Amino acid sequence: MWSWRFQPQSKAFDFTTELLRLYELFYRLNANIDVIPVSLDFSTYKVLVIPVLQIVDETLAEKFKTFA
């Protein structure tokens, strides 16, 4: 969140609103969700939703590729 506050991309974008927009979809489906750090092992998950992630290093990119 700090990065969006420090360097906003648009006056129309609000980080919290975007997270709630995505959360609401799962809530309506009565789907369980976890909010996890990118350092966690993704292998136990079926779906990842990665909203507005600004910083992806090579290690994290590889984790995403392995998951996909």
Report the distance separating Cα 8 and Cα 26, nearest Å. 27
Range of the domain at 9: 2-67
Report the distance separating Cα 19 and Cα 50, nearest Å. 10
The string of pLDDT tens digits covering residues 21-48 is 989 999 999 999 998 999 999 999 999 9
Amino acid in position 64: F
- Would you say residue 18 has pLDDT above 80? yes
Question: Residue 1 — very low, low, confident or very high, per pLDDT cuts 50/70/90?
Answer: low
The string of pLDDT tens digits covering residues 2-11 is 666 666 677 7
Give the tokens for residue 36.
């996890």
Higher pLDDT, 1 or 10: 10
Q: What is the pLDDT of residue 4?
A: 64
Number of domains in the chain: 1
